[in-house]
Copies of this chain bind each other. A is one copy, B any other.
């Protein structure tokens, strides 16, 4: 097909433009002293439940905010708003991932220095979000126990683009005969040394450990920013 090289070339331009915008966002986050964390996973892995629990637990001690991407509906923003944190929905239409420019537009009207943590929930997809840097400090990939232990092997690129893996819905592990050893082995095969948290937004299992990690990362990133000023 003669169109293939053109498609590749155009796609490169889109990605290059995205990288420029993402770099600018990362710089803004650093200057504002906010730790930006994005979440990726397949649809139905429990991203929104996990994020709602995160916002609720952090809310008393930190200033938190969230952006949430979906093709259609503002359901997730409505759910997350129950945590009392400021939340904005990004509707992507038919686009299967967030782009840095969408994040930039959604942030308009927010003073980032008023936040300690900014969470960005990507569209539910294990493929499209891989190539798009959103300027986040950390990218978490979520994997629910109901999805099957081989997802890291099947979607290596998204696991490679992420910094941390979170196993969700651990309360269902027994019911679905989740093989944790196999899941951990598959994660390490694709991304050796990757940090993994096992959590349940329902029972709260593993949430304290994961929140401790977030706090530690925020402190580290602020210390690094102070040194570079």
Residues of A within 8 A of B (CB): 1, 3, 6-7, 10-11, 13-14, 17, 42-45, 70-73, 75, 94, 96, 123-128, 130, 144, 146-148, 150-151, 153-157, 169, 172, 175-176
Contacts and interface: CB of A to CB of B under 8 A. Distances in A.
A73 B10 contact: no
Question: Is chain A's interface secondary structure helix, strand, loop, or mixed overall?
Answer: loop
Contacts of A70: 154
Copies of this chain, whole number: 2
Nearest to A3: B13
Contact of A127 (B7, B94, B150, B172): B94
Contact of A96 (B6, B127, B151): B127
A176 B172 CA distance: 8
Contacts of A7: 7, 10-11, 14
Contacts of A156: 71-72
Contacts of A169: 146
B42 A124 contact: yes
A163 B45 CA distance: 25
Best-surrounded residue of A124, A128, A153 (most CB of chain B within 10 A): A124
Best-surrounded residue of A3, A44, A147, A156 (most CB of chain B within 10 A): A44
Contact of A123 (B14, B72, B127, B151): B127
A176 B75 CA distance: 19
